[in-house]
Amino acid sequence: MASSLTKDPASAPGVEKTFLGHPRGLATLFMTEMWERYSFYGMKALLPLYLIAPGGMHMSATTATAIYSVYMAMVYLLAMPGGWMADRFWGPRKTVVIGAGVVILGHITLALPDTASFFAGLVLVALGSGLLKANISTMVGHLYDGPDDPRRDGGFTLFYIGINLGAFLAPLSIGTIGEKVNWHFGFALAAIGMALGLVQFLFGSRHLSRQSDVVATPATAQEKRSVLRKGLVWLIVATVFYSLLGVTGNFADWALLPITIAGLVIPVAVLVRMKRDKDLTEVEQSKLSGYIWFFVVAAVFWMIYDQNGSTLSIFGENSTTNSLFGFGFPTSWYQSLNPVFIMAAAPVVASAWLWLNKRGKEPSTAVKFASSLTLIGISFIVFMIPLIDTAANGGRVSPMWLVAIYFIQTVAELCLSPVGLSVTTKMAPAKYSSQMMGVWFLAVTAGDSLTGLLTSPQLGIDLNTSGAVAVEAILAVVAGFGIWTYRKKVTKLMGDGS
């Protein structure tokens, strides 16, 4: 399938085959990420619905949002150690293969009709996704001739289309099977998708950069023993802790709290450690200072954006007609709106950036990020209208409200996510080449962890209310204005990474 997408206009000796004008290895990574996202987004579409369904876990909307948010936070938190494992032990390519295998095992475990195995499956999928996620994005960066390659941003945008192609197909197939046939059959279909992605990667990996096999800073034998020893200690601590919670009957109330706190503390600790690293040059330190601004913006953005799979999905299940022009559809299909909008708009946005760049008018990364926050805030302002209507009048509203909200969020995402992936590879200190992509994903961890903490049993805030949505909307718009105000300072810190 990858070769069918590959252009070879000259077909002459010495002419490198390309994928839509980019290195051919991008086709391999495009297809691998497409299938990985197919498995992940299929499960994402089912998870909150399964948690609240009478035929599933039958939980409250608040508890379902907390579990969903913590799960999402862990997927992105584990991207950091995933990058570290590549830098110190396996290299990006081998780490992706191992991660894909763990994801397959996780989805198979999710398919088992047992509550304990279900949560074990969530852990495995999060672990495997963490190993895969940062490294496959890093390998995209390896395909280009340094950070100044003009194809780089466009390459990441095409890669982003692969992500969203899988995300589009997953709810339509996995979501339908899960909601209409059997929840666990849906999870099994996600395992098949990841297996297809792994096979494709193994066959197409010869087109990747040799740099993808490099272990940046190989661990010594002593360091390997230390990692194994510490890993076993933490595994024992976690097992004892959660076993005690189960025995005392406090598992449901306190299981999520340590994870949400870790999801907020660890990102801060990682950035502090990097800033205090005396091995970094003055230029690298300056870029890192600028990067912290983007990290905070991204955390606020993802806190709101990732509720499209929980708050918006639950609203779609409980408060929309799920019918358009006489055609009824499963709630999980709403999750296909964002990726189909991205596939339509991403090439337009990428071309617009290039067109503006040639004329010296392309907005800086800081302005793009500020725009993303403002737009995500506007999406929640729009969300308040059907929320207030259903609260006042009861009944259900048109699904077109969710269509409009997802469209605004898509435009916001295109101003932040592919740009963030690209700027991360540009601004990464050499010492943290693979790990830096994990740092970018920690912004998602921080945002989702905050959502998980707000909806945890200790706080129990219902984010489905118009008051909560209004607060989040105001926060996003104010933060967007703040980053726009300091855009020149941030751009100066970035140096040539702007």
pLDDT tens readout for residues 207-250: 787 878 888 788 888 888 888 898 899 889 888 887 787 677 66
Residue 281 backbone class (left: φ over 0; alpha: ψ -120 to 50; beta: rest): beta
Please report how many Cα atoms fall inside a 13 Å half-sphere around the Cα of residue 28, on the Cβ side. Answer: 22
Spell 317-349 as b/e; 16+ CB within 10 A means b. bebbebeeeeeebbbbbbbbbbbbbbbebbeeb
Angle in degrees, CA 145, 150, 156, rounded to 5 = 85
For residue 1 the two structure tokens come to: 């399938």
pLDDT digits (tens, 9 = 90+) for 304-347: 999 998 999 999 998 999 998 888 899 999 999 988 888 888 77
Grade residue 83 by pLDDT with cuts at 50, 70 and 90.
confident
Cα-based distances in Å from 413 to 255, 286, 374: 31, 26, 11
**Mean of pLDDT over the chain:** 83
Q: Which fold has domain 19-216+250-497?
A: Growth Hormone; Chain: A; (1.20.1250)
Who's near 129: CB < 8 A, 6+ residues apart? Answer: 36, 40, 75, 78, 79, 99, 103
- What sign does the dihedral 321-383-408-193 (CA atoms) show? negative
Could you state, in order of their start, the residue ranges of all structural domains in the chain? Answer: 19-216+250-497
- Among candidate residues 30, 3, 136, the one with its CA nearest the CA of residue 82: 136
Q: How many residues does the chain have?
A: 498
Most confident segment among 80-94, 143-157, 160-174, 369-383: 369-383
pLDDT digits (tens, 9 = 90+) for 420-476: 877 887 777 877 766 677 788 888 999 999 998 888 877 888 888 888 899 999 989
Please provide the distance, in angstroms rounded to a whole number, between the alpha carbons at the two ends of the chain.
36
- Listed in order, strand segments (DSSP E) in 141-225 are none
- CA 75, CA 376: separation in Å to the nearest integer? 22
Percent of the chain with pLDDT over 90: 25
* SS3 category, 324: strand
Is residue 383 within 8 A of residue 310, CB to CB? The reply is no
Who's near 228: CB < 8 A, 6+ residues apart? Answer: none
Please report how many Cα atoms fall inside a 13 Å half-sphere around the Cα of residue 356, on the Cβ side. Answer: 10
